[in-house]
A and B are shown apart, each in its own frame.
Chain A
């Protein structure tokens, strides 16, 4: 049962990731990424991390990707017509690099095969909201507060960068 769930989520994740990279239409790419996030949330559920699975959907699928879609629609970005017809040397280098990185990571993974074949039995208690909250608000409290400052700074910074100011006399825009 679990293996089928894993396979279907994994296939969905890979297919949507490929779909995102290879789609000419930006909105379609964004939607593929949303599906990808949801399938990764499914994998988190398989790993018994219920809290993070839900947070993944709330934060990524519900907030970040809506923001992306919003910007894409607002800017009315054209489709990428030339996805594969220029810079042939570049594609060669990209393929080479991808293969090298992939091989490297797989080599690293091959070293730990069969090291941890079983999901830890503690996970039924570790993945819950209570467990995460208990650690987050004690051991990691300082980091948590830093995150709050970081998010505030990000919001203020984004507003400063993206703010639209029209010159009252000429009507021209300045940034």
Chain B
């Protein structure tokens, strides 16, 4: 049988890949996708705890996190479209008007 540690390790790996992606990519859309990946990694950890404990609470939390992720994706993409309309680019290094 697979122990819970395997699922948690996988979740950790995916989460770290997501962090690296957020930090090194310059394309705002890819950065955003990496955030989605991190959300997914956390969902996996939550669900594996829920499954190994036989408790439904974690599952409900994953359900809500999916709903929030959907809301976040919609608003985030709208912001990216608005940025693109002003700068004609989604490069996050070029969006620096309010930086200093």
Contacts and interface: CB of A to CB of B under 8 A. Distances in A.
A116 B21 CA distance: 31
A120 B54 contact: yes
Contact of B64 (A64, A122, A131, A147): A147
B56 A77 contact: no
Interface in B51-100: 51-56, 59-60, 62-64, 66-75, 77-82, 84-86, 90
A169 interface: no
B34 A21 contact: yes
B1 A118 contact: yes
Interface in A23-69: 26, 29-30, 33, 36-37, 40, 43-44, 46-49, 51-52, 55-56, 59-60, 63-64, 67-68
A33 B36 contact: yes
Given A98-B19, A147-B64, A109 B90 contact: no
B56 A44 contact: no
B14 A17 contact: yes
Interface residues of B, number: 69
A162 B29 contact: no
A13 B10 contact: yes
Contact of A33 (B24, B37, B71): B37
Interface string B16-32: 11111101111101101
Contact of A98 (B20, B66, B70): B20
